[in-house]
Amino acid sequence: MTTIGFIGLGIMGRPMAANLIAAGFDVVAYNRSPAALEAHVDKGGRRADDIAGAVRDADVVITMLPDSPDVIQVLTGPAGVFSHARSGSLIIDFSTIKPEVSVELADEGRRKGFRVLDAPVSGGEQGAIEGALSIMVGGDPADFAAAGDVFNALGKTIVHVGPSGSGQTVKAANQLIVAGTLELVAEALVFLQAHQVDTDAAVKVLSGGLAGSTVLTRKAAAMLAHDFRPGFRIELHDKDLGIVTEAARRAGVALPLGAVVAQLVGAVKAQGGGALDHSALFGLVEQLSGRTPTED
């Protein structure tokens, strides 16, 4: 049985770890929140008291963390993975971080005898629960092949997109598209409501045409119900759009619409909505339109 050290049992990490357990892996997890560890044990996993305990005997180490500094600390810190995992271990970072940080971590990992992949995911909490994530992987092709059983337990669309850092670059593009689509779906729904259109019927027909998208299918009903319980938090999407705009600036690429959406996401966060789902862009469009949630 392959042993996996899993670090980071957040909204995405919890169901991912559960799917690995269901697939027959021995999953030893570490998380700062004891409640998440207890839920992990209830699913059949094992718990560790620290990072060293999670990775010491692991064949594969997985990290699923919020931001670049978190991944740097967990991998390279004195109590981290590179100091305590077995040489030759396969390390897969599913976090969404800066591409250049992934490159630096992969280089450092290789120098220390590890195989490192950056493998950010798309699909949100529901995709993680269903084991239907889209996984974009950067790193050595042989390491990508070696991780096949792990990826297959977590996702349905699994693609090696290039060398280290490439997974993060593709994920940045993904977050740009998702944010833009969320904003346009929100604007369309407010537009429909203002004209007293049956929004459920409208969403049904729009989903079947060229305007159809996973964002429209999964997020429209929650927007209309003002159900902004986090599947993916505004504060994380704000972080991701910062990665996009910084990378675009370095490459000399113009993202005029992306820059506007980044500002709108940042506005929701600034108004105290950082912990809400990114579909809370709908509320901002209502606010800008002078409409209240009770208006039809």
Active-site position among 112, 156, 171, 204: 171
Residues in CB range of 90: below 8 A, 6 or more apart: 59, 60, 61, 114, 115, 117, 143, 146, 147
Q: CA-to-CA distance for 284 and 265, rounded, in angstroms? A: 9
Q: What is the distance between the alpha carbons of residues 131 and 152, in angstroms, rounded to a whole number?
A: 8
H-run or E-run covering 128:
helix 124-130
Residue 94: C-alpha distances to residues 40, 83, 113, 183 (Å): 18, 20, 20, 26
Find out whether 164 and 109 touch, Cβ atoms under 8 Å: no
How far is the C-alpha of 260 from the C-alpha of 273, rounded, in Å? 18
Burial class (CB within 10 angstroms; exposed 0-12, middle 13-18, buried 19+) of 7: buried
Q: Pick from 211, 189, 142: which is nearest to 293 by CA?
A: 189
Report helix, strand and coil shares of the chain as percent, to nearest 5. 55, 15, 30
How many CB atoms neighbour CB 296 within 10 A? Answer: 8
Distance CA(16)–CA(2), nearest Å, equals: 16
239 carries an active-site annotation? no
Residues labelled catalytic: 171
